[in-house]
Amino acid sequence: MTKQEKATHIAEILEKFYPETPVPLEHTDPYTLLIAVLLSAQCTDERVNKITPHLFEQADDPYAMADLEVDHIRQIIRPCGLSPRKSKAISELSKILIDKYDGAVPESFELLEELPGVGHKTASVVMAQAFGVPAFPVDTHIQRLAYRWCLSTGKNVEKTEKDLKKLFPKELWNKLHLQIIFFGREYCRARGHDMHSCPICSLYGRKSLMK
């Protein structure tokens, strides 16, 4: 079986397990999604979803957020970790959105990645989930599964993203990256994982890991 055939079958398995893929981070518009994704760095979606209602109650648009003191933002988002850096980025990017984009979130990978605290993965999530632009956001979890399933060498997230984009049709990217995340959380966890009983690893798992 070729790698392409394997990828096609894996996509079919994921579609069977997760035909619906709700966005894990609660949000109401591109701006609140951007903030939620920024907060999710090195933090679980579950924890972010507990924090953002308190934050968005006070500021759910760039104008209101820019009026908050950075220290106040930091106190609210402290449970998400990295609060000094994240609060500064949230404040600064909100002011930039006001000054350069009339308070709107730009629909461009390049412009998003110019914002403080916004890397390629965050920009990809916003483009995919807020604007419906084909993207394949890859974090360390997706990188791990792509390596386990022999779809990528797993050297870094950039290489994994390129490998996955080559294997899967563009029209599947936005849904597929969520399906992989959901599958990883439920069936293919990082620790204590039995690859022999996993619906995908049992078929396509990297042999060196299946001891």
Q: What angle do CA 10, 11, 15 make, to 5 degrees?
A: 115
Cα of 39 vs its chain's centroid, Å: 11
**For the chain, counts of helices (H) and of strands (E):** 12, 0
Annotated active-site residue 71? The verdict is no
Q: Which of 60, 86, 121, 163 is catalytic?
A: 121
Cα→Cα distances 29→13, 39, 50, 129, 130, Å: 31, 16, 18, 10, 7
- From the number of C-beta atoms within 10 Å of its C-beta (0-12, 13-18, 19+), residue 47 rates as middle
Q: Tell me which residue has tokens 């090195």.
A: 42
Cβ neighbours for 179, distance < 8 A, ≥ 6 positions apart: 14, 15, 17, 18, 21
Annotated active-site residue 211? The verdict is no
Distance CA 42, CA 52 (A): 16
Q: Which of 60, 86, 139, 163 is catalytic?
A: 139
Q: What angle do CA 164, 26, 18 make, to 5 degrees?
A: 45
Residues labelled as active-site residues: 121, 139
